Chain A
Amino acid sequence: MFHWLEKNPFFFAVGVFLVIAFAGLVEILPNFAEASRPVAGLRPYTVLELAGKEVYKKDNCIACHSQLIRPFKAETDRYGQYSLSGEYAYDRPFLWGSKRTGPDLHRVGNYRTTEWHENHMWDPTSVVPGSIMPAYKHQFTNIADIATAYAEAVTVKNAFHTPYGDDIQPGKKAFEAYKPKVLAEAKKIAAQMKNKDVKDAVAAGKIPEVVALIAYLNSLGTSRYDAKSK
């Protein structure tokens, strides 16, 4: 058998493939059904929050912030209840990160406010002296891409049965009809902010990136499945 493999590069390649594929088959596939179940009562991200998640991805917050609280006292004291698999059921992609140059954000919505985030994104050292995080002032003028976020909601609803309402439907018309709901949600956040450009933009029907990002950050935590928490 070995002699034959050494002489036949093609079957040799098949052999290599089987050996390396084996670990994947055993380790990964069978776990799929179990690991994708949401915790009881978990709601999916709203379209505005999805748009905020896109800002989070675009400015690559994951480079410095994790979203995974490990089951150690030092971590639960600092960040709150450790993370559960079911909390990530609607996270596509997962945003656990691999480096904490800044603190974990998985429950940041439980203990930070819109105002705090606004100050922090404008100038991190104003609320955290000594911070090495860059300011993200461009998020106050760049307009968030709501259409793409809406398209994502439609996609996950149809492809993966994520429980969105009947008003999330494919097509430009359905999107136009849905837009006012996103704007209404954005207005609530803008009302708590002080930046004039942001307020003007939202009043004019545009949603700056920072508003979407704050909506997303506020949704991180237990509030998406536990009404009692803030």
Chain B
Amino acid sequence: MQSNAALEYDYTVAKLYTYTAILFGFVGMLIGTLIAAQLAFPELNYLLGEYGTFSRLRPLHTNVVIYGFTVSGIFATFYYLAQRVLKVSMAESKFIMFMGKLQFALYLVAATAMVITELMGYTQSKEYAQMEWPLDLLIVVIWVIWGIVMFALIGIRREKALYISMWYFIACFLGVAMLYLFNNMAIPTYFAAGGVGSIMHSVSMYSGTNDALVQWWWGHNAVAFVFTVPIVGMIYYFLPKESGQAVYSYKLSLLSFWGLMFVYLWAGSHHLLWSTVPDWMQTMGSIFSVVLILPSWGSAINMLLTMKGEWNQLTENPLIKFMVLASTFYMLSTLEGPIQAIKSVNAIAHFTDWIPGHVHDGVLGWVAFMIMAGLFHMAPRMFKREIYSKSLIEAQFWLQTTAVVLYFTSMWIAGITQGMMWRAVDEYGNLMYSFIDTVTVLHPYYAIRALSGVLFLTGFVMFAYNMIKTMTSSKVLTEEPQFKSPMA
């Protein structure tokens, strides 16, 4: 517990991941906007030949925004805030510093390889687990290194109590590790068949219904442990720090943590309602999805109450705006999800555009907003310069909020329209619409969604520009700001 005046937090790795978050965020959202436009205007499928069709680009979009943008954001914020809440610097241990840099180097290799192989069509065809086995192995290494860094930092900590954000990062590490390993169990065919065929190809250890169960156990919980758990960890740090208000109820944050851990995993089978998965599992998925509202709202309400008596900050500080809106979208999304998991609602909603609509109010409104707010908060402290432009952040906020609202409203209407048309029958009990009727009717909604993509992407470019200007040419700060991030 010695005071060490010369010691400073070391943000080298956090900065590196900040750069990749900006880069992959732009690429992923650009592809997303393109494929959204392709659904409205199919001629756009032929820009890149074989490599430019909607179907080839769609997993690239999801993987780049998840494993490029979001995971970079998670690592950037982790390497920033873990040091601070544990009160140790990475510079104190050469080993930790080396592992952190090694992890980034391997991450960059894996992410680049992911983009190339998926563009070429190497895929396991499991959603959010498309990467083939050599990449899977590399990811395991990256993940293990992260765990080593995490527990090494915890091992030399000065603050004996682990702050709640660290709990969430530990859970993210463990949850993803377990689920990823199980879901990607596959046999490389080249070796099993005595050197015949492509070395990249593998065949899943599970078949049919089992494969579906394991896959959605993963698919659902990738959402839990990548899009929810670490993001909650972020907001528990950044909102109090930016506003200068301690978490409203620390005890509530502990309880919602355990609640979330226990309930989330059960809900995976709600992706498989009305399928060939046993009935009791479907029911279980349905019930636990509804129970899941409690811990989710526990965290979100805790966040909103943290601002109690300080709501004036909402008008004064655009970063608070981002974070408060993020927790509001989190509430919306975690209410919408359970509604879709009710069996009778699911019968209409499943397979329709309501599902991407639901996903995007979560990932755009909650995940992306929170990551961008976190990076904005970190920038003045990492680069020792004030944020380049407040008015640009304000403009970005309104542009992107409009984009998210346009996205989910258009997809709600599209999804329900489609679901109702698929089942509509005439007075004799015959189906009223051929399938193509239910596609062409969606054109205006697809066009609106493409527009919303353009708006959100524009907002992201404003974010990137603001960040780059902050790094390079903004006013230099003489001392580190305590709470509110300074901005011009």
Which A residues have a C-beta under 8 Å from some C-beta of B? 6-7, 9-10, 12-13, 16-17, 19-24, 27-28, 31-32, 34-36, 54, 56-64, 66, 68, 70-72, 74-75, 77-78, 83-85, 87-103, 128-136, 138, 142, 145, 147-152, 154-156, 158-160, 170-172, 175
Contact = CB atoms under 8 A, between A and B. Distances in A.
A156 B352 CA distance: 34
A158 B192 CA distance: 8
Interface in B171-211: 171, 174-175, 178-179, 182, 187, 189-190, 192-198, 201, 203-204, 206-211
Contacts of A145: 197-198
B384 interface: no
Q: Give the dominant DSSP class at B's interface.
A: helix
Closest 8 CB pairs of A and B: A88-B208, A148-B197, A23-B265, A170-B194, A151-B197, A151-B193, A134-B45, A58-B121
Contacts of B262: 19-20
Interface in B249-268: 258, 261-262, 264-266, 268
B8 interface: no
9 contacts: A20-B175, A20-B178, A60-B58, A87-B208, A88-B209, A94-B209, A99-B356, A147-B196, A150-B197
Contacts of B213: 27-28, 31, 35
B455 interface: no
Interface stretch (B100-108, B275-283, B395-403, B457-465): B275-283
A101 B39 contact: yes
Given A24-B265, A70-B274, A154 B55 contact: no
Interface string B400-432: 000000000000000000000011110000110
Q: Which range contains the number of B residues in contact with the other chain?
A: 35 or more
A134 B62 CA distance: 20
Contact of A136 (B53, B190, B215, B422): B53
Contacts of B436: 128-131
Given A9-B151, A54-B201, A160-B207, 8 more contacts: A7-B160, A24-B217, A57-B125, A83-B276, A85-B209, A129-B436, A134-B53, A138-B50
Max count, chain A CB within 10 A of own CB: residue among B124, B162, B187, B275? B275
Contact of B206 (A9, A78, A92, A101): A92
B217 A27 contact: yes
Contacts of B264: 20
Contacts of A101: 39, 439
B54 to A, nearest CB: 6
Contacts of B53: 59, 134, 136
Contacts, number: 262
B483 interface: no
B33 interface: no
B211 A93 contact: yes
Interface string B435-450: 1100110000000000
A94 B215 contact: yes
Contact of A94 (B151, B208, B423, B425): B208
B161 interface: yes
Contact of A90 (B187, B194, B207, B274): B207
B92 interface: no
Nearest to B208: A88
Contact of B171 (A16, A56, A87, A154): A16
Given A17-B178, A23-B265, A132-B439, A28 B192 contact: no
Contacts of A159: 187, 192
B46 interface: yes
Contacts of A56: 125
B468 interface: no
B87 interface: no
Nearest to A85: B276
B406 to A, nearest CB: 20
A63 B59 contact: yes
Given A7-B160, A57-B125, A91 B207 contact: yes
A78 B422 contact: yes
B246 to A, nearest CB: 18
Contacts of A155: 187, 189, 192-193, 203
B355 interface: yes
B271 interface: yes
A91 B124 CA distance: 12
B208 A91 contact: yes
A54 B198 CA distance: 12
B370 interface: no
A92 B439 contact: no
A12 B209 contact: no
A28 B265 CA distance: 11
B427 to A, nearest CB: 15
